[in-house]
Amino acid sequence: MSNQTIGSIMVREIIRMKEMGFSMRKIARSIGKSRTTILKYITSIEASDLSFKELLELTSEDIYELFGTTQSIASSNTDVIQKELLAFYPYVEKELKRVGVTRHILWDEYKQKHPEGVMYSRFCESYRQWSKKSDGYMPVAHKYGEKLFIDYAGKKLHIIDRQTGEIKPVEVFVGTLGASQYTYIEASFSQQIPDFITSVQNSFFFFGGVPACVIPDNLKSAVTKADKYEPFVNEQFARFSEHYNTSVMPTRSRKPKDKPLVEGAVNIAYTRIYAALRNTEFYSIGELNAAIKVCLEAHNKSPFQKKEHSRWTLFHDNEKACLKPLAIEKYELRDYKTATVQKNCHVYYSPDKNYYSVPHTLIGKKIKMILTQSVVEIYHQQTRVAFHSRSRKAFDYVTLKEHLPVNHTYNLDWSSEYFINWAAKIGANTKESIEKILLQKQYPEQNYKSCMGILSMAKKVGNQRLDNACKRALLFDAVGYNPIKNILEKGLDKLEDQVKLFYTIPIQHENIRGSEYYN
């Protein structure tokens, strides 16, 4: 048996025992070699970039070629083969960025051109050494259309308020595609969710397509809770990515090597954009972004250092076609709210001060409201249970008849607008009292019944007395059905003049100068 065969068998055994979890001491004892020798083999195995399964599937010739000698490829191959490899590797680097292209496919192409060339394992090991950077890390070969790295520059730009002269700092958003490094930059007022999502969306339209994955830093607008394995993506941003059919994969905290491209793009922005604009004053965010756009175009069209092509040519020749198509409609920002279904089969949305109906079977249940500028969606346990057009009227009830039980449909015509219009016909004080009652935090039916009871009093006492009673109730901050009823029953509404006199007659005293003193 040849030394090559014996060496291959020994390496296979080391790989197999390592995969089974044996310690180095046990492997050395079983193989009959020192632990130092076993350590050298294991170090070479782990540096091969191949899994244990892939290694065990290699031929004996490949295994011996990969681990049977400690000499580098430069000394193990002839000068001719070495030159052929070095000439072929720039092509490998470029082609690995294409979707579906693997090292094995490229090795097949290499062997077709050079039948006497090295085997696959040596081809991979040599390429790894050729690609290695000075800091010991191999650059990642990003696929075209695969990743968009996004971040904010640490240093800010600014605009000037024309009226006050105030200098307002602005954030600078940077996004760069992984394969072509084609870059988008814009200024925005903040890193908050609306500005952040708008910037990412603008980058998609700048590229004319959507990458398969967006890789943000762990800023709060993108990630609500950082985690090494499964970070929690902000719900608004998650909905945005769903709308554009892309994924979000945040980088690890305090790991700049996860996003070297965008870090580099930020540094380049300082020299090619910040420096170019340093002596120009801008008075609006639009002016600033227009100037950034000019500098950005020049940056993208500048050739890479020591290369003939630019970001622009790589993008338009290769990456643009690999991006996913844009959504038909732009993403619309949403508001999210959790609420409990009230006994009147409605949920309350406090910013607009109005209500939306929900099926009566969900009374007392927790639901989630998702509101855009035009519609309201209501979900219970990830199932949509209601869909309404969004109302902007205060006190409005947006109701579907089928949501209500049969015994609730008799007063379906009642609404806040109905009672406010009725009260306005009686008097301004009555209208103000009704609006105040409708703002009270109680069940709408109770509010409506109180309004009905107060407005019905006009039939007995007349509009004027009811309006005077409401005025008195407002004066003493005692608006309600019972207070107004008591005022009318006791005739206190007729004392309106005395109340006015009490509050308007000035106090006479020698120490009070009076208004004439200041004339």
| Same-domain check for residues 232 and 343 | no
Which value, to the nearest 10 degrees, does the dihedral of the CA atoms of residues 318, 321, 327, 331 take? Answer: 10
1 C-beta neighbours (distance < 10 Å), count = 6
Give the separation between CA 440 and CA 462, rounded to whole angstroms.
26
Do residues 219 and 267 share a domain? yes
Residue 215 has, within 13 A of its CA and on its CB side, a CA count of 22
In this structure, are 195 and 50 located in the same domain?
no
What are the helix (H) ranges across 439-478? Answer: 444-456, 458-461, 463-475
- Among candidate residues 360, 383, 407, the one where a domain is terminated: 407
Q: What is the largest CA-CA distance in the chain?
A: 127
**Same structural domain for residues 313 and 218?**
yes
Mean pLDDT across the chain: 78
State whether 252 and 304 are in the same domain: yes
Output the pTM of the full model.
0.49
- Residue 228 shares a structural domain with residue 316: yes
Q: What is the mean pLDDT of the segment spanning 35-63?
A: 71
Same domain, 23 and 157: no
Instruction: Work out how many domains the chain is built from and give that number.
Output: 5
Question: Which two tokens mark 125?
Answer: 């090991």
88 vs 73: CA distance, rounded Å? 15
- For the cut 70, the answer to whether the pLDDT of residue 391 exceeds it is yes
Find the Cα–Cα–Cα–Cα dihedral 351, 357, 359, 364, rounded to 10°: 50
Residue 329 belongs to some domain of the structure: no
Does 94 score more than 90 pLDDT? no
Q: Are residues 172 and 284 in the same domain?
A: yes
- pLDDT of residue 380 exceeding 90: yes
Structure tokens at 394: 């205060």
Whether residue 461 is predicted with pLDDT greater than 70 in this model: the reply is yes
Query: Which residues span the domain enclosing 386?
Result: 335-407
Do 219 and 297 share a domain, yes or no? Answer: yes
**Is 225 a residue whose pLDDT tops 70?**
no
Residue that is last in its domain, among 131, 156, 177: 131
Burial of 457 (0-12, 13-18, 19+ CB in 10 A): buried
pLDDT interval class at 441 (50, 70, 90): low
Tens digit of pLDDT for each residue in 315-348? Answer: 898 888 989 999 888 888 888 889 999 877 889 8
Q: Rounded to an integer, what distance in angstroms lies between the CA atom of residue 496 and that of residue 503?
A: 11
Would you give the end-to-end CA distance of the chain in angstroms?
122
d(CA 324, CA 160) in angstroms, rounded, equals: 39
Lowest pLDDT segment from 107-111, 166-170, 232-236, 443-447: 443-447
Same domain, 358 and 485: no
**Hunting for tokens 């902000």 — which residue is that?**
234
The pLDDT-based confidence of 519 (bands split at 50, 70, 90) is: low
Residue 366 pLDDT: 94
Single-letter amino acid, residue 70:
T
Residue 514 lies in a domain: no
| Residue 246 resides in a domain | yes
Is 519 within the bounds of a domain? no
Q: Is the pLDDT assigned to residue 518 strictly greater than 80?
A: no
DSSP 117-169: S--HHHHHHHHHHHH--TTS-PPP-PPTTTEEEEEE-SS-EEEE-TTT--EEE
Least confident of 63-67, 145-149, 265-269, 352-356: 63-67
In a domain, 220, yes or no: yes
Kindly state whether residues 156 and 45 are assigned to the same domain: no
Say yes or no: 276 and 369 in one domain.
no
Which residue matches tokens 């892939």?
54
